[in-house]
Amino acid sequence: MSFTVPAVQQDYEKTVEAEAADTIVSPMYVGDKDGVYNIKSSLDNVGHALYNFTIPDGFSFNLQIMSRNLCDSSDQNSVFFKFYKASPVWESAEEIYGMKVKSSWDWDWVKSTSADPYIIGLTAGTYTFKVRSRQKKARMDKWVFRFIFVSYDGGSSCSCGGGGCGCGGGGILVA
């Protein structure tokens, strides 16, 4: 389910069902747990899902991601994730996202071993968010991609620091 961030100078949120990935590579698969469709892998460290999105020309955003997930075991509660950019070719380091251990579906900000929450700065271009199996019992139901407006052609800028990122004005455009 590819999407494009609107060309507006404000924050933007897009909710994506995990099973609506542009690509799901086996042994990651769409399953059903308690009536909730989700993705998970049947093996540790194998299988992935890809989600594509585009940031329009001239725009820069900081991206945070929230996940609705289910992990009922502290030794089976993580996935790998990274970002790729098509042109110019670029990729982020692969990070580990350790999810909250819960016996019911719950929302959690994606974090890495070095950042909580994980925030990445992105400029105009087409990106792929890749989620790869690390532990087979980690289940993902939904992703919320929160694009925090930074600048448009250098005319308006915002910054990150202290308790988060953002700029005044506009509120959040939700899709």
**CATH fold of the domain at 3-174:** Jelly Rolls (2.60.120)
Q: Is 80 within 8 Å of 136 (Cβ atoms)?
A: no
- pLDDT(129) > 50: yes
Are the C-beta atoms of residues 158 and 60 closer than 8 Å to each other? no
Q: Locate 128 and state its tokens.
A: 């792929």
CA dihedral 87, 124, 17, 45 (to 10 degrees): 40
Find the angle CA(165)-CA(166)-CA(167) to the nearest 5 degrees.
Answer: 150
Predicted confidence band at 21 (pLDDT cuts at 50, 70, 90)?
A: very high
Does residue 174 carry a pLDDT above 90? no
What confidence category does residue 173 fall into, taking pLDDT thresholds of 50, 70 and 90?
low
- pTM listed for this prediction: 0.85
pLDDT of residue 3: 96
* Selected residue with higher pLDDT from 166 and 132: 132
The residue ranges of every structural domain in the chain are: 3-174
Alpha carbon 150 to its chain's center: 18
End-to-end CA distance of the chain: 13
Looking at residues 85-90, what average pLDDT do you find? 88
Which of 146, 166, 141 lies closest to 156 in space, CA to CA?
A: 166
